Structure 1
Amino acid sequence: MNERYSRQELFSPIGKEGQAKISEKSVLIVGAGALGAASSEALTRAGVKRIVLVDRDYVDWTNLQRQQLYSEEDAKNQLPKVIAAKNRLEKINSEVEIQAHVMDMGIEEAEELISGIDLIMDATDNFETRLLINDLAQKYQVPWIYGACVGSYGISYTIIPGQGPCLNCLLDKIPANGQTCDTAGIISPAVQMVTAYQTAEALKILVEDFEAVRNKIITFDLWTNQQVQLGMEKAKKMDCPSCGTEPIFPYLKKESELKTAVLCGRDTVQIRPSFNREINLEQMEKSLVSHGRVRRNPYLLEVQNETHRLVLFKDGRALVHGTKNTAEAKSIYHKFIG
C-alpha cells in the first residue's frame, strides 16, 4: 500500500476524500523563481495530478540563495528555470505530470495554457503579467492566488471569481515605483512565508473547502515583526472591467501589453507602457541607487550596470540599451522598474 500521502490524509480537513480530489487537479504556476520553485515543490509533494510551469528566465548564481529547486550545476549550465525545475520535481514525485514551458507568457499563450486548469498560482515579478492572470482567471472562472515578496516583506491574496474583488478592483492602474529583488534584495524566509500562505490556500481550493479560504489580504514584514490582514469586501467594483457586471477583460486585449520597438541602427529597445502613468523620478532614483550608477535630471533617469543601461522617462517610457532582443529588454525593464 502506498503511504506517500498518509500524513496529509490524517489531517482531517483533507482526509482521503480530499487527497483524491488533489490527485485529480491541475495547477498553472506562472513564474519559476523563488515563489514558483517553492510552491511547485510543495504541490508536487502534495500529489496534484499536473503542474504546468511557465517562465522565461534561466538559473543564475544570484538565484541560489532563495530558489530552492536549483543547484550550482543548473547555474553553471544556465539551464532554463522550468527545465531545471521539471528535472528536480520529477525526482521528488514521479506520479505528478510536470509540463515545462520556456516562454514569456503573453495573451495568446495564456489562453492556450488555461485549458483544464483548476488553479493559477502567481509567482511573477510584474503587474503586467498579474493583471493578465487576473483577467484570465475571471474569464474562465478559475481561482488564483496572488503573492509577492521583496526584502523582508511579503503579501498574499486569494481571488475566487464571483466572490469579492479581483486584482483590478484593487488597482486603478499598473503600479509604478515598486521595489524589486534586484533593487532592494530579499531574504529567503520572506519567500518561505509567502509560499506557506499561498500553498495553504491552494490546498483549500484543491480539496474544494472554499469556506476555509481567506478573504483578506495578508501582509507582513519579518524584519520589523509586523503583520496585517485587511478585509477587501468593500473594494469590489460593480463597474470593474475585469469582474464587474459587464466585463471586457482589458488585459486580455493586445493593446494592454507593453509596446516594444527595436530602434533602427542602435543596440536599443524602446518600451512603452500600455497605460499612461507618471513616474516619480526622485523616488525611483532612491530605489535604484544600489543597482548601478544612477543619474537624474528633471526629465529622465539613467541607471547603468555592467551589461545594460536603462533610461527612464517621466511618462514611463524606457530605452533599454545593450540589447536588440525585446524579450530580454522587457525582463530588464521589469527587474529595474518592478
Structure 2
Amino acid sequence: MPRSSKSRRDILKATGAGSVALLAGCLGSDGGSDFPNEPITFKVIADTGGGMDYYTRLVTSYIEQEDLLDVDIRVENLTMSLIGRVNNVYNSDNDGYTYGNAWPGAGRFQAQGVEGVEFDYTDITPMPSAGSNMRAICVGPDVDVNSGSELLSHIANGNAMFYTTGVRSTGTIAPVILGEVGGAYDLTQVMDNHVVYDGQAQGMTGMQRGEVNTMAASVSSVIEFIRSGDLKPVLVMAGSQDEIPTLYEEELSDVDTLGSIELNNKDEVQGLTSFQHYWNWMGPPGIEEERADVIRDAMSEAIQMDELQEEARSNGRTITYADSETVGEYLGEQVELWEEYLPILDDMEAAVN
C-alpha cells in the first residue's frame, strides 16, 4: 500500500492549532480526534518468541516506527492457560484501547463447549490478519511414500506411525480429519498408530530412531527439517499450489495438495486442518466502530508495507493480509464448521478411553 511520506502526527504539527480544531470537528463528536489519547495494549496469547508474539511485535513496531498512531503501544504476554488467555482478551474493556490474538483453533473449544470457555467468536470485534498457517503431512526420508495418494494408502494400510504431542493436538486431529471427513480411511488408523512426545525436538529424535515415520504439523514449524532432508513433505493441506506462500515454493512446488488428490469434502478438510487466516487479532465485543477503525487502519497499513513484509521474509515468516471483515467471517465459520464435525472429536475421545 503506498503511503504518504508524512505521518498523521507530522501533518497535525504542521497545520497548527486552528486547523487541528477544524479536523477534530470533521472527525465527529465521539472523540475521534482525541482517540487514541493513551497507550494501546496488545495482549499476546502465547509465550515470548512464538509466532503470535513475533507477528504482534512486528506489526506494532511498524505502527510506532511510522507514526501511524499518536500514542505508544504496549505488548503484554499473557501467562495463564490458553483458554484463560483468550478469555482475558475477550473480557477486556471495550473502550478501544485493548486487543489481542484471535487464535482460530479456539473455535473448536467454543464449539465443543469446553469447560471454562467464556469467549464467543461470533461477537468479537475483528481486526486484520497478517498471515495463514497451513498444515503439511511429512514422512521420514527413507519411507517409500512420495505423493498424496501414496500417503493415503500408507495410512489406510496401517503402515503409518504418527508423531503427536497428544490425542487432541494437530498431529492427531489433522490426519483424523483427512481420513474421516475426506473418506480416505478410518480414524482408528491414526488413534491406534501414534506415539506421544513432549515436543517436536523429541519427536524428530523418535523419527530418526524409527519409532514414528509420519508427522502432521504446520509448514512453518517443519520447514527447516524439510530443507535439511530430515522430513519429506508428501501432502500440503492447501486447496492448490497457488495458495502456498512464495517463501516455501522451492521446497513445496512439487508436493501434492488437497486439490490434486482424490478426496471427499476437500473444502471442509482444508477448513478444519489449515488456518486460512491464522495470525489474527481481535478486540472484545462492543468496541465502537469508529474507534476500532482507527486501529484497523493503522494495522492494515503496517501489514501491507513493503518494508515489514521484507523483514518478515528475512526471518522466515510469510505475510498474507486479510481485512477485518474477512477475519470476522472466517472466525465465525470456524465455530460452525467444528459444530458440524463434533462427532468425530467424540469418536476420537472414545477411541482412547
Q: Report which structure shows greater RCO (CA 8 Å, sep ≥6).
A: 2
- Give the TM-score normalised by structure 1: 0.30
Instruction: Select the structure of larger CA radius of gyration.
Output: 2
* Higher share in helix: 2
* Higher share in strand: 1
